Amino acid sequence: MKEQEYYVEIEHLIKSNEISKRARKLEENYSLVETYWHIGRLIVEAQGGSKKAKYGNELIKKWSIKLTEIYGKGYDATNLRRFRQFYLSFPKCAALRRTLSWTHYKRLLSIKDENKRNYFINLCIKNNLSERELGREIKSNAYERLVHKPENIEIEIPKTYSITTDMKNPIIIPIQNEVSNEHDLELNILANLDFFFKQLGQGFTYVAHQYKLVKDNHNYFVDILLFNYEFNAFVIIELKLRSLRKEDKAQIQFYMNLVDEQVKRPFHNRTIGIIISKESDKFIVNFIRGNDIIPLYYELQKG
């Protein structure tokens, strides 16, 4: 290989590693939130249910001594009471949003009014607020200053999208040159966009390829960025000439969050993800909708 080719390969490895680190961080964060919720649930159940849980501090004191001795101050009596309050405030695990960290929820636990709390959760989801930005909104009395307060504010559930009825299965991607790496596959798709769009279904339009996103002084590049005017949403396509891995889903969800944060407008729906991967001798189009992956086969066809 030439010097520049070696550099490109090194840069690709570093980029993949940086994305994986951030993707793992997102997964670890939600795992932490989920763990604390379940600890709170078990404490409440051990204390005889939510009506009696408020009066079970002796059990918490006893357990906190044991847990702190083994696992540190993160499991002291104050935090165990906080986990219990977390469960009581959010009795349905499905209502927890993956985009909110434990520090977000700690801020929200101080809000007793459920309507007010749900308003700030929706504000975090809509505007991708950091914990510090959420704190500023709460301190500025953003909820109290609303001109019209709805009587009942529900936590917004991310919209899901049905696959268009005219989508083909398998999806055929015509190729003009040999495909030996992800860049080759990208070039073949770009050379046959109109045909590719017809395979995916109606409403797809091209935005860019190798679309640059910046987060914390790091550059990230989306393989192909589309927009679907029927879904009213941006669509990210990532290319993998290998089997789908767990971190691929985390990576594209990281990209989807960045597009939601930096590109989409309030009147757009949330971004959709597509991972094109290779399983044995077959190629798969994997639609990412929330926590679901919908696999569809596709084939390369020489044009």
Q: Confirm whether 166 is domain-assigned.
A: no
pLDDT in tens, 132-143: 999 999 999 999
Query: Confidence class of residue 224 from pLDDT cuts 50, 70 and 90?
Result: confident
- Domain harbouring 238, CATH code: 3.40.1350
Residues paired with residue 275 on neighbouring β-strands, in sequence order:
238, 286
Q: Does residue 265 have a pLDDT over 60?
A: yes
Instruction: Give the SS3 label for residue 54.
Output: coil
* Range of the structural domain that residue 209 is part of: 171-302
Contact indicator for 188, 179 with CB cutoff of 8 Å? yes
Q: Does residue 26 have a pLDDT over 70?
A: no
pLDDT in tens, 171-204: 566 666 667 777 777 777 777 777 777 767 777 8
Q: Are residues 177 and 202 in the same domain?
A: yes
Q: Are residues 150 and 175 in the same domain?
A: no
Of 269, 275, 267, 280, nearest to 292 by C-alpha is 275
Q: Are residues 113 and 91 in the same domain?
A: no
The mean predicted confidence, pLDDT, of the chain is: 78
Q: Are residues 144 and 250 in the same domain?
A: no
Q: Confirm whether 126 is domain-assigned.
A: yes
Q: Are residues 82 and 115 in the same domain?
A: no
Burial classification of residue 70, based on how many CB atoms lie within 10 Å of its CB (0-12 exposed, 13-18 middle, 19 or more buried): exposed
Of 96, 121, 144, which one is at a domain's C-terminal end?
Answer: 96
pLDDT at 165: 44
Q: Are residues 10 and 92 in the same domain?
A: yes
Q: Are residues 184 and 236 in the same domain?
A: yes
Q: Confirm whether 165 is domain-assigned.
A: no
Tokens of 289: 């909708």
Q: How large is the average pLDDT for residues 202-216?
A: 85
Of 226, 231, 145, nearest to 193 by C-alpha is 226
Q: Are residues 177 and 279 in the same domain?
A: yes
Residue type at 210?
Q
Q: Are residues 130 and 68 in the same domain?
A: no
Q: Are residues 289 and 193 in the same domain?
A: yes
Query: What's the structural domain count of the chain?
Result: 3
Q: How large is the average pLDDT for residues 235-260?
A: 82
Query: How far apart, in whole angstroms, are the C-alpha atoms of residue 206 and residue 222?
Result: 13
Q: Are residues 294 and 177 in the same domain?
A: yes
Q: Confirm whether 121 is domain-assigned.
A: yes
Query: How far apart, in whole angstroms, are the C-alpha atoms of residue 12 and residue 288?
Result: 23
User: Highest-confidence range of 119-123, 215-219, 252-256, by mean pLDDT?
Assistant: 119-123
Q: Does residue 230 have a pLDDT over 80?
A: no
Q: How large is the average pLDDT for residues 149-174?
A: 63
pLDDT at 8: 67
Q: Are residues 274 and 178 in the same domain?
A: yes
What percent of the chain shows pLDDT beyond 70?
Answer: 74
